[in-house]
Amino acid sequence: MAENPQVWFVTGASRGMGIDIAKAALAAGHHVVATGRDPQRVLAAVGEHENLLAVALDVTDPTAAANAVDTAVEHFGRVDVLVNDAGNFYAGFFETLSPEQVRAQMETNFFGTLNVTRAALPVLRRQQAGQVITVTSTAGFVGGAFTSAYTASKHALEGWMESLADEVAPFGISTMSVEPGFFRTELLVEGSSTIWPEMVIDDYADNTAQTMDAWRAMHGTQVGDPAKLAAALVTISGAGPLPRRFIAGSDAMAAVEQKQAHVQQQIDHYRDLSASLSYNN
- From the DSSP assignment, how many helices (H) and strands (E) are in the chain? 10, 9
User: Is 150 a known active-site residue?
Assistant: yes
- Whole-number Å distance between alpha carbons of 33 and 96: 38
Task: List phi, psi (to 5°) of 33.
Answer: -100, 105
- Residue 30 neighbours by CB distance under 10 Å: 22
> Phi and psi dihedrals of 87, rounded to 5?
180, 170
Q: Please, are residues 39 and 22 in contact by the beta-carbon 8 Å criterion?
A: no
The partner residues of 253 in beta bridges, in order of sequence, read: none
* H helical segments located in the chain: 17-27, 39-46, 62-76, 99-106, 112-127, 148-168, 202-218, 226-237, 250-269, 271-275
Residue 81 corresponds to which amino acid?
A: V
Q: How far apart are CA 138 and CA 222, in angstroms?
A: 14
Catalytic residue among 90, 150, 204, 270: 150
| Catalytic annotation, residues | 150
